Amino acid sequence: MLDAAALNNPLREGLSEARTVQSCIMVIFGATGDLTQRKLLPALYSLAADQPPLPASFTVVGVARRPWTNEEFRNVAKEGIQNYARQPYDDALWESFSQGIFYEQVEFDDDAGYRRLGETLDRLDHERGTGGNRVYYLATAPNYYSDIVTRMGAAGMVQRTTSGPSWGRLIVEKPFGHDLSSARQLNADLNQVFKEDQIYRIDHYLGKETVQNILVLRFGNGIFEPIWDRRYIDHVQITVAENIGVEGRGGYYETSGALRDMMQNHLLQLLSLTAMEPPTGFHANEVRDEKVKVLHALVPLREEEVAHCVVRGQYGSGWVGSEQVPGYREEKGVAPNSQTETFVAAKLHIDNWRWAGVPFYLRTGKRLPKRVTEVAIQFKKPPFSLFRNTGADELQPNLLSLRIQPNEGIALKFGVKSPGQAMHVRAVNMDFLYGSSFGGEPPEAYERLLLDCMLGDSTLFTRRDETEAAWTLVDSLEDSWRLAPEETKVQSYDPGTWGPHAADQLIERDGRSWRRL
């Protein structure tokens, strides 16, 4: 087994086991939505149950347009916690936790509503002893972000400090814009009210234990970092696969597609963590500086290269097991001749000393065979085979796989001799699983990220220049698709398969193949 202690070794300030949160109010805009009920409130409840727990005075104020009372909001919160929280429901804990849950009805374009909300927050500060510390969470549709923040600023609700007697912070859910221009405008709007170090752009993938352990695996273990470069690594595969369709979100997906919805954030985040240089320290900006450098070092694809290095797919209708499922164009809100991609695969290169010549193959899609996220590092074969005449010349290359979901863990594949007198070599895995190694499931991603924000640690959040660098790549690909619609049009694939045949050709042209997951 891999050494669990080594993988869990904290490398930076702020990663110690016991981290104490200052009392504060978390204001959730969009409090009646699924994200709040399924993720945010269950995560906060689990944090309240952990050791050390959240302060007893910790307060949640839900804000939305529905005319709910405090009691109605608490009932919805209780249902979400009972169904989705990592920590088991406990009557005594709920009784204490629920005393700090409140609701305020506000129309997002009503200035009077923000003034009323501000008065409520001031009153709760006094009654519950939260000291004026605020975390504002934007869990609304993205088109409300700028307006909400602007009106908050006009109502005098924002402390423009990150520490001191009282502080204010803002968490923004993805997507951060829909292209480079809108991302820059959104960032400018947010920076009118909040300073950059007060803004926490959240990508829940960065809260997953295995994603964080990419850094520990590389920089906390002497056996990996020396071989983490072009001399020993043949290629890298990053897969983010979903087995569901658009699930009634066809109208939204028509304006997004797999490239904007998944590649711009999740896949490029995983790529930058995998490829980054060692930071000079493990403070937030030192880590994020290195991630941004990777994105800037991505080799731009020329227009004539896009058709060969990027594949777009769209799932059709068919059967998945015993269930008949509709094609994407049959989903509600989707145009009958839609060219929106539900699958995208790409081959990218990083133009720096460490990674020159090493391809990074990325793929993501809906209606694929299973829900799985993985980063796979495939090493080069030995320069010559000692076993070419023993029947073992087809030995598979060494592979390090980082499984991010659903079963978080790390596996190293290498060759061993099978028992017996003949020289038979086969591949085996040395496996590390979080559940078995640490005696339970790791915390949910939102738990870690909400806690980090309350502690003022932005390491696992996305900085402004990082979002804009990612959009620069995505915009260039979409521009090429528009300029060459026939060469880059979406290709149909059957539901329950790994995408269109062209995706296999993308990697097989290089003498490689996609991982069988």
| Residue positions annotated with a catalytic role | 266
Question: Which one, of 499, 491, 452, lies nearest residue 14 by Cα?
Answer: 452
The HSE-up count of residue 7 (CA atoms within 13 Å, CB side) is 21
Residue 361 tokens read as 């193959």
Side chain identity at residue 366, one-letter code = K
In angstroms, the Cα distances linking 45 to 87, 100, 137, 206, 433 are 8, 11, 16, 20, 25
Residue 117 tokens read as 């909300």
CB 180 within 8 A of CB 468: yes
Strands (E) located in 188-274: 199-202, 233-241
d(C-alpha 233, C-alpha 380), whole Å: 5
Beta-sheet pairing, 233-241 with 372-379: antiparallel
Beta-sheet pairing, 323-325 with 318-320: antiparallel
d(C-alpha 101, C-alpha 37), whole Å: 13
| Torsion angles phi and psi, residue 175, rounded to 5 | -80, 145
Residue 462 is classified by DSSP as B
Cβ-count burial of 249 within 10 angstroms (0-12 exposed, 13-18 middle, 19+ buried)? middle
Considering only CA atoms, give the Rg of the chain: 24
Which residues touch 471 (CB under 8 Å, ≥6 apart)?
177, 179, 180, 183, 264
